[in-house]
Structure formats: C-alpha cells, structure tokens
Structure 1
Amino acid sequence: MAIMTTTHLNFRGDARAALEFYQSVFGGHLTVVAYGDFGMPKDLPGADRVVFGQVTADNGFRIMAYDVPDQAPAAPEAAATTREHGMTLTGERFFVSVRGETAEEIGVLWDRLADGAEIIEKYGPSAWAPGFGMLTDRFGVTWILDVAVAYAG
C-alpha cells in the first residue's frame, strides 16, 4: 500500500495563477480542472475557477489547490462548512489531502481517522473518484481522503 499526504490550498479565485506560479518554481506537471468541466454551466460566474488543481514534480514536490465557491464562509473568522447545490463549501484555509490507489485502502484510513471526527462529506464514490470523503478530526484539522485517478490534461 502506498499513500501520500499533500497540502491542499484554498483560494478565492486565484488558484490557477498560484498553481502556475508553483509549477514555474518547482517544475513538474500542472493539472487544472474547472467547475465548468464538472458540469457547472459554463456561462455561470465562477465556472472557469479551479475545482481541482495540482502540481506534481519528479523531485517529489506536490501541491493541490482549488477555488472555494463564492458562497462559502470567509476564513479565518468563520471556518464553518456547509453543503449547497451538491458542493462542499468551507472557509478553511487548507486541508490535508491523503490519496491512495484503491477505495478499500483509503476506506480503512477513513474509518480510523473518523473516530471522534466531524464528518463533512461521508466517504464514498464521487463524480471524480471511486472514493472521496472530508472530515475534521478531533484536533480540528480538516482532511480530504480520496482515491487518485488520472486526469486527461
């Protein structure tokens, strides 16, 4: 079993620029997927913002980022999390992301980490991965656990 942790940064409209900058600094492959690529009507405001972005480099550098939807509470004063229109909205500045190769191996980690946690999004299949879940652990750290999939880009 191979797992990795990746810092997941949350932006308010400039995730693409930040990821492009990180790629220019660290090298590697840039992946950017917009909300409009996952079904949001492309004419809606924010459809071009980043719903999934990452930079991965051969030297081991990896970072993920996305643009928090406009309806999400602002951080740090309000780190609340809500669900609206099928999207998880949060004011958290960052998440810890744990990715693995199979839904089963990530499911085991989810079960352990969920002990005493506040479940934000229950672990299970999602539109973009065979397994995805989000929780805030008993220490106040927000985690995303998911199964890594290849994106055409």
Structure 2
Amino acid sequence: MKYMLMRKADADTEKGVMPSEDLLQSMADYNERMTRAGVFAEGQDFEPSQSLEQHRSLGCLPREMNVHVAFAGTCKEAMEFYSEVTTGKLESMITYGETPAAEDVPPEMHDRIVHSSLNLRGRRLMGADMAGNCYQPPQGAQIHLEYDDPEQAGRVFKALSDGGSIIMPFAETFWAHRFGMTTDRFGIQWMISSQIEHCQ
C-alpha cells in the first residue's frame, strides 16, 4: 500500500503563491518520518528551497525509472537467479511463443523470454532475450544495490560473483563501509555497497 501527502490548493495557491516555508518544512519532515518508518519508498519532492517553477516541473519527470537488460538466451535462468539472490518478486516471465507475434518469430525463439520483470522494492529490473545479431553484451553500465547490512551485501556480492568475474573486490573504501564490483556469469555488471551514506 502506498500513501501520498498532498496539500489541497487554496485561493493563494491558485494565484501562484507558494505555501509558507514552515508548511513546506513540515511536509518534508513528515515525508522523512514516513520514509524511515518504511511507509514511503522515498520521501522527496517537498523541499522548502524549491521554487514554484521547480514544483511545477515535477510533473514533467518520469513516473518511474527502471532498468532493462538483454540476454543471449539465458534470460529465464538469469532472472530466476536474481530473484533468488535478492529475494525480489519475479512479477512476469513471458515467452515469445505466448505473444500475438509468435507466428512471426522463428520457432527456436518461442521458448525464449520477450519480457521479464523483477520487483525490488518498487524498482524493476527487466530483461529479455535478444534474437541472433540483435544481442550485444552490455557495456558501460552497472546495476547498483545498496544494503544496510554489510554481511547481507557480502553474501549478495559473493553469489553474483560465482561463475563470473570480480572487477573490484568487496571491501572497505573511502566512500562506503563496503563496496565491490563484479560481472556475473550472465555478463551483467553489478555494484554492491553497504552503508555508502556514512561517507556523504
């Protein structure tokens, strides 16, 4: 269940007059308390320092930002593995053969995945198998997972590294209590960290 704190528009607001600094601060404080309590996924967008134009521009932002990765036929195995490692909810796993486009897809692609979705606290890791020459190994991007518990982060890093290749060992750094980078056995790169905020 999700909640949203909203302020009903009054005559001043309709004329473009911003709420008072005290009210905006109260709204921001409330969001922060709800975030810490686990009610909100995040508590932002009500910053007292934001101008009226900045508040209006929020409507231009995407509703969500998710990550999509491509596979060369191993999408089902990879997504089930990611679900097990992260304990995220695997919401969707659809094959090419299950879609209306099945008759236009080569028979050998019918059991491959055209869409999958793993829900991680409201953010989604999506994936699909690419046909033939359409697949290119991912480069220049990593999926970042942040954990409060360094032991849990270490377990996730170890699991993702198994059969893959460690780019940067999981260890203490100047920006995080623990941080590491690895490429898993499916060719996807990950950054795993714990308590990164203590260096901010």
Q: TM-score range by the shorter chain?
A: 0.3 to 0.5
Which of structures 1 and 2 has the bigger CA Rg?
Answer: 2
TM-score by length of 1: 0.43
TM-score by length of 2: 0.34
Structure with greater strand share of residues: 1
Which has the higher relative contact order, 1 or 2, with Cα contacts under 8 A spaced 6 or more apart? Answer: 1
